[in-house]
Amino acid sequence: MKLTKIESTPFTKSDEELILKTLKRYASSTKLSAVCTRSVNLPFRAFYLNTETPLLLINPIITKYSNDAFQSTEMSEFDTNGKNRIVVRAFSIEVQTDNLGLVVFKGDMENDREGLDECIFAQQMIDLLDGITIADK
């Protein structure tokens, strides 16, 4: 399945509330830890992390990747063959957003697995918003 990039778009406070409500409901009903607007066909570039500290990021762009990376085993709802894939992910990223400013995601396998999971989710969601599936990686 070939996806196209979802470009950054202007948003209002009511748009932000709609995005949050829709993504939060979808994440809850599907028991997903992260979901982007591509999954719910909203015309915005945004994703929601349904983690210990829930976050909505609007118009996220990765501005920096760490030099250190690792192999992550992943599956995506947009990968039509349903196979797990090995994907190289950065241990930390910096993400510029329109609603939160600069957000840093980082973690490690030994001392901060939750932070690392959030970093993986953020990379997955931004890839999807950029039109990249794990099958493309």
Confidence (pLDDT) at 80: 67
Which pairing describes strands 69-74 and 61-65: parallel, antiparallel, or unpaired?
unpaired
Q: Which of 58, 60, 61, 59 is nearest to 16 (CA)?
A: 58
**Quick one: three-class SS letters along 2-19?**
CCCCCCCCCCCHHHHHHH
Quote the pTM value: 0.93
Region of 41 (left: φ > 0; alpha: ψ -120 to 50; beta: rest) is: left
Given a contact cutoff of 8 angstroms between Cβ atoms, the answer to whether 125 and 47 are in contact is yes
Residues of the chain with pLDDT under 70: 1, 79-80
pLDDT one-digit tens code per residue, 45-84: 999 999 988 999 999 999 999 999 999 999 877 766 778 8
What DSSP assignment string belongs to 79-116? Answer: -TT---EEEEEESEEEEEETTTEEEEEE-BTTTBHHHH
Instruction: Give the per-residue pLDDT at 134.
Output: 82
Choose among 6, 17, 81, 12: nearest CA to 41.
6
pLDDT confidence of residue 76 = 78
